[in-house]
Structure 1
Amino acid sequence: MTLIKISTIYFVMGILLGYYMSIVHDYALTPVHVHINLLGWTALTLAGILYHLFPQLAASKLGKIHFWLHNIGLPLMMAGLFLMITLQLESLTPVIAGGATLTTAGILFFALNVWVHLKEEEAA
């Protein structure tokens, strides 16, 4: 349930950012908007639903690793990307890359978790 609650924060952020961009007719922050909606709202909601339906996924070490990597990496990546675009600071590229690496690793742990811990009879 925690992932689903966190995902709603990303949903509100993504929608508000999209709304802001449409009001000011400046779409420079589109990459931030898209990543917040996809990796924050959509991905975390779906993971949260799977973790709720199959509690053994959430309880596993892989589930906990996914939770933390995703929830540390994504805000780091989004903050870095937002600041790089708004302040035109290419020096923030390593921050974005670090956040992206953590998020990607988290998603890989999520996929591994599903493949290892989700049993055929439980999914039926």
Structure 2
Amino acid sequence: MGAKWIKISIVYLVIVLAFGLFMHYTIQLQWKATHAHIGVIGWLTTGFIGLIYSIYRQAAETRLAKAQFWLYNLGLPFLLIGMMMVYLDVPRWLFELFVSGGGIAVALSALLFFVNIFKYVR
């Protein structure tokens, strides 16, 4: 499970670098909060979870870890797209749906990670 997290973190690294280049060359710096979230939550946090699960393999193979993986990796793109919607002309309900839905999924995933680590890491 650790390798899956690390591989997905590399996808977010490529996205954050490409997004940063887009912001630079178009001088559209209003996206800085989204850029930071892609980097910190997408690349760094995802990679760090992968490293933890690579070290503590017994925790990585639990049902909690699998549920956490899917909640996080389904919720995070919705959260990030929702953050981009702040600067796009979309209905407020759609923005709220993406940000709230994705944010809640990522938060629940973090809670599952917390429980899983404290339960299975010795």
Q: Which one is further off, 78-87 or 36-45?
A: 78-87
CA contact (8 A) 1:70 1:103 kept: yes
Q: Using the TM superposition, give the Cα deviation of residue 9 of structure 1 relative to its aligned residue in structure 2, in angstroms.
A: 0.6
* Equivalent pairs, count: 119
* Structure-to-structure mapping, 1:7-86, within 5 angstroms: 7-86=9-88
CA contact (8 A) 1:84 1:93 kept: no
CA–CA distance in structure 1, aligned partners of residues 8 and 76 of structure 2: 12
Q: Is 1:101 aligned with 2:104?
A: yes
**SS class of match (2:105):** helix
Q: Using the TM superposition, give the Cα deviation of residue 79 of structure 1 relative to its aligned residue in structure 2, in angstroms.
A: 1.6
CA RMSD, Structure 1 to Structure 2 (Å): 1.3
Q: Using the TM superposition, give the Cα deviation of residue 97 of structure 1 relative to its aligned residue in structure 2, in angstroms.
A: 0.7
Structure 2 unaligned runs (5+)? none
- Kindly, what percent of the aligned residue pairs are identical? 27
Q: TM-score, normalised by structure 1?
A: 0.88
Q: Any idea what the Cα deviations from partners look like across 1:38-85, whole Å, max 9, x if unmatched?
A: 111011101001111111111011111110110011011112222342
Q: Is 1:111 aligned with 2:101?
A: no
CA–CA distance in structure 1, aligned partners of residues 101 and 40 of structure 2: 18
**SS class of match (1:71):** helix
CA–CA distance in structure 1, aligned partners of residues 100 and 54 of structure 2: 30
Q: Using the TM superposition, give the Cα deviation of residue 23 of structure 1 relative to its aligned residue in structure 2, in angstroms.
A: 1.5
Q: TM-score, normalised by structure 2?
A: 0.90
**SS class of match (2:88):** helix
**Moved beyond 4 Å, runs of 4+:** none
